[in-house]
Amino acid sequence: MIIGREKERNVLKKLLMSEKAEFLAIYGRRRIGKTFLIHEFFKDQGLYFEITGSNKASKKEQLKNFTRELRTLFPGTYKFDDWTDAFDALLKGIELKNPSKKFILFIDELPWFASPKSGFLSALDYFWNRHLSRLPNVLLIVCGSAAHWMIKKVINDKGGLHNRLSECIQLEAFTLLETEKYLAAQGLEFKRKQLVELYMAFGGVAKYLTGLPKGKSATQIINEYCFSSSGYLFSEFTKLYESLFDFSEKHIAVIRALAKKQRGLVHADLLKAAKLLPGGSATTILEELEESGFIMSMQAIGKQQKEKLFRLIDEYSLFYLSWIDPIKGNVLRNFDPEYWNKKYKTPSWYTWAGYAFENICLKHSIKIKNALGISGITTIESHWQHVPKKTLDSEIREPTGPGAEIDLVIERADNCINLCEMKFCEEEFEITKEYAKALERKRSVFQEVTNTKKTIFITMITPFGLKKNSYSIELVAQDLSLDALFYRPND
C-alpha cells in the first residue's frame, strides 16, 4: 500500500493513461522508497520489465543480469556483447506483445549501469529516440539514487536525451504527516511529540521506518536500532554515502564539518573546515549533497550569494555523528540496553533535540505557512544573523552593539515579516522576563540593521504551544504547536 505520495501518484496515473509513448525520470536518495513506489503502483498494470543496476559491477555482469530478466519475460537463448544488441532483443519482444496493453520498462539505479565505458547511455539514447518513442503503449521509467548524476546526465542532458522526458519526479523523504500515516498503517501509533523524537533520529526515510517493533516507545526503538552492533542504523552512515557518491570521503568531510556547527557555515568557512579547495570540485560536492537532501543552503537577508549559509538537515546523519559515532567502539565491545534511556532528557540531549527540532521546522516551512494562513502569499524564507563590528580604539575591542540570530525569517510580499523562534520542550513554553527581553532585542536589532519598513511578527513554534502570560500576549503574534507541522489544509 502506498502511503502519501499523492502528487507522485497523479503523475504516474497520467502517464499510465496516456495514449502515446512516455518517458519518466525519478530520483531521490537511497532508502527513500523510489523502487517501492514504482512496484506498488504498476504491479497490476499491463506488462512489466525491470532491470536493476549493480554497484561497481562490470559491463559483462550487468549484461548477464539483463539477459536473465529478459529470458523471464521473453523465453529464448540470448548472448549479448553490448547494450545495443541487448536493447534490440528487448525491442523485438515488445513488438510481439499486444500493442493495446501498456508496456512498462523500468530501469532502476541507472547510474550504476552507465559507467564511463559501458556504452549504456548512448544505447539507451538511440533505443528511445529511434524506436520506443514511436510505440504508443510504452512507458519508460529510469530511476537513480545519485541525484546530481540524474539531473546532469538525464534531466538536463545536452545530448540525445535533451528535452525527451515527459515528467520528472524528485522523491523526497516523508513529511511528519506522511510518517504518521506510514507508521499507523503498520499498526504503530505514537503521540506526536514522541513521533517527532523518532523522526529526529530516523528522518522520513521509508526504509528506516519499515518493520519497527510494536509495543515499544520511540526511545526503546532508537536504542535498539542505533546502539546495538546488530542494529540496522548502527553502521548505515558510511554505507549510505559510499553508495551514493564517488570519493565519498569528501562528502562525509562536509557532513562532519556541518555537524559540528549547529547553526551552519558560510561557503568559505565550510570549505576550510572540510579541507576542500575552492573550485568546481567543491561546488559539485555541495550540489550533490544538497540535491540529495542532506544539506540545505539559505540566503541571509542583505547578504551576498557567496555568504549563504549551509546547514546539515539530514536527521540520521546528525544523529549518527552526535551520538553513535563517538561511542561506536564501546558499543562493539559492550551493548548497553539502557544507553539511550540514560541519555534521554539530559542537557546534551536537549541541545541536540533543540537543533534537530529547528531543522524539522525549516524542512516543514510550507506547513508553517499553511498554519499561519499565508500559503497564498509569495514569501522568501531565509536565515539572518548580525555580528556587530568591534571597535578599533580599544585593547579589549568590545562589540559596538548587540548581536542577534534568527533561524527562520519569512519575508512576505504583503509587507510583513515573520521572525520564527523554535523551542523544543516538554510542556507549554513559558516566556520569562529574561526571554522576553531577548525576543525584544532580536526584533529591534533586526529592524535596525535591515532598516525594514515592513510589519514584524514574532512567531513561536513549540511542541505544546505557549503558556499564556503578559509577555506572551504582548510580544507573540502567532503561537504554533506541533500540530502546525502536521498541518492539512482541511484541518
Q: What is the spatial distance between Cα 16 and Cα 84, in angstroms, rounded to a whole number?
A: 27
pLDDT of residue 416: 97
Which residues partner with 22 through β-bridges? 139
pLDDT of residue 232: 92
Q: Mind listing the pLDDT tens digit for each residue in 109-139?
A: 999 999 888 999 999 999 999 999 999 999 9
Task: Tell me the longest C-alpha to C-alpha distance in the chain.
Answer: 87
CATH of the domain at 348: 1.10.10
DSSP string, 189-233: ---HHHHHHHHHHHTT-TGGGTTPPTT--HHHHHHHHHSSTTSTT
Q: What is the spatial distance between Cα 450 and Cα 464, in angstroms, rounded to a whole number?
A: 32
Same domain? 294 vs 390:
no
Same domain? 201 vs 122:
no
Q: Helix (H, G, I), strand (E, B), or coil: what is residue 49?
A: strand
For residue 1, is it within any domain? no
pLDDT of residue 398: 46
Q: Mind listing the pLDDT tens digit for each residue in 218-262?
A: 999 999 999 988 899 999 999 999 989 988 999 999 999 999 998
- Say how many C-beta atoms besides its own lie within 10 A of residue 414's C-beta: 11
Same domain? 345 vs 244:
yes
Range of the domain at 102: 6-170
The pLDDT of 359-384, averaged and rounded, is 94
Q: Mind listing the pLDDT tens digit for each residue in 71-105?
A: 999 998 899 999 999 999 999 999 988 888 899 99
Same domain? 188 vs 337:
yes
Buried b (16+ CB within 10 A) or exposed e, 111-142: bbbbbeebebbebbbebbeebbbebebbbbbb
Strands in 265-266's sheet, in edge-to-edge order, are: 265-266, 309-312, 295-298
Does the pLDDT value for residue 215 go beyond 90?
yes
For residue 205, is it within any domain? yes
Q: Give the residue from 279, 461, 471 showing the smallest Cα distance to 371.
A: 461
What type of residue sits at position 308?
A: K
Q: Mind listing the pLDDT tens digit for each residue in 168-212?
A: 999 999 999 999 999 999 999 999 999 999 999 999 999 999 999
Last residue of a domain, one of 152, 170, 188: 170
| Per-residue CA distances from 322 to 237, 255, 289, 343, 450 (Å) | 12, 12, 19, 12, 35
Same domain? 395 vs 443:
yes
290 vs 397, higher pLDDT: 290
Q: What share of the chain is helix, strand, coil (3-state, %, to 5)?
A: 45, 15, 35
Grid coordinates representing 186? Answer: 503498520
For residue 47, is it within any domain? yes
Q: What is the spatial distance between Cα 407 and Cα 356, in angstroms, rounded to a whole number?
A: 12
387 vs 362, higher pLDDT: 362
Grid coordinates representing 315? Answer: 536527521
Number of domains in the chain: 3
Q: Mind listing the pLDDT tens digit for each residue in 327-352?
A: 887 766 777 778 999 999 999 999 99
The pLDDT of 32-48, averaged and rounded, is 89
Which residues partner with 410 through β-bridges? 381, 418
pLDDT of residue 345: 92
Same domain? 305 vs 164:
no
Same domain? 30 vs 56:
yes
Q: Mind listing the pLDDT tens digit for each residue in 377-412?
A: 999 998 888 888 765 554 444 445 678 999 899 999
Last residue of a domain, one of 138, 170, 202: 170
* Rg, C-alpha atoms of the chain: 26
CATH of the domain at 464: 3.40.1350
If residue 253 lies in a helix (H) or strand (E), which one and from where to where?
helix 248-259
* Number of residues written out for the chain: 491
The pLDDT of 349-376, averaged and rounded, is 95
Which residues partner with 27 through β-bridges? 144, 170
* Burial zone of 406 (CB within 10 Å; 0-12 exposed, 13-18 middle, 19+ buried): buried
Query: pTM of the full predicted structure?
Result: 0.91
pLDDT of residue 489: 67
β-strand pairing of 416-422 with 455-461:
parallel
Q: What is the spatial distance between Cα 205 and Cα 232, in angstroms, rounded to a whole number?
A: 13
Q: Give the residue from 167, 27, 164, 184 showing the smallest Cα distance to 107.
A: 27
Same domain? 298 vs 215:
yes
Does the pLDDT value for residue 454 go beyond 70?
yes
Same domain? 245 vs 223:
yes
Last residue of a domain, one of 125, 153, 170: 170
pLDDT of residue 397: 46
CATH of the domain at 94: 3.40.50.300
Q: What is the spatial distance between Cα 426 and Cα 408, in angstroms, rounded to a whole number?
A: 22
What is the three-state SS of 273-323?
Answer: HHCCCCCHHHHHHHHHHHHCCCEEEECCCCCCHHHCEEEECCHHHHHHHHH
Q: What is the spatial distance between Cα 362 and Cα 380, in angstroms, rounded to a whole number?
A: 12
pLDDT of residue 280: 87
Which residues partner with 48 through β-bridges? 104
